[in-house]
């Protein structure tokens, strides 16, 4: 092994230089798997994509948004998690046309989010039909 130490050291130095020049450069399958893993871990991003529609005329009361987000977090595999709303609020404020405000409905002033609607799920539709 002593005899080969200079050659091993030389190869390490070449590898270190390549790493510093171009980084790890993982294969495409690793990049794709990493992207998918981070997307799955982004619960707020998933909620925004899967549960909300962004429309200028939209309005969602704060309480309805909290219930929808909490339900989503628990359904996607975090049943014992305390649901922190601030990360969602920060992401919503970054969307153009989405603002926290007030809206009048049936003579009542409601506080909530202008510019978004919570998408209706099959469960919501079934409950609505059963109540009629």
The CATH code of domain 43-132 reads: 1.10.10.10
- Give residue limits of the domains in the chain: 1-41, 43-132
Are residues 115 and 98 in contact, defined by beta-carbon separation less than 8 angstroms? yes
Say what the pLDDT of residue 112 is. Answer: 96
Supply 44's token pair.
């707020």
**pLDDT tens readout for residues 61-117:** 999 999 999 999 988 877 777 889 999 999 999 999 999 999 988 899 999 999 999
Helix, strand, coil in percent for the chain, rounding step 5: 60, 20, 20
Query: Coil, strand, or helix at residue 31?
Result: helix
pTM for the model: 0.67
């Amino acid at each position: 092994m002593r005899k080969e130490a200079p050659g091993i050291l030389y190869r390490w130095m070449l590898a270190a230089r390549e790493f510093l020049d171009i980084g790890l450069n993982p294969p495409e399958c690793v990049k794709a798997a990493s992207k998918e893993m981070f997307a799955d871990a982004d619960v707020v991003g998933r909620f925004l994509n899967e549960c909300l529609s962004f429309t200028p005329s939209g309005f969602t009361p704060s309480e309805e948004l909290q219930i929808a987000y909490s339900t989503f977090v628990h359904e996607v595999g975090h049943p014992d998690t305390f649901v922190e709303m601030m990360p969602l609020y920060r992401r919503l404020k970054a969307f153009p046309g989405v603002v926290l405000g007030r809206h009048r409905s049936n003579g009542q002033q409601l506080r909530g989010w202008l510019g978004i609607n919570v998408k209706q799920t099959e469960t919501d539709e079934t409950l609505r039909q059963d109540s009629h």
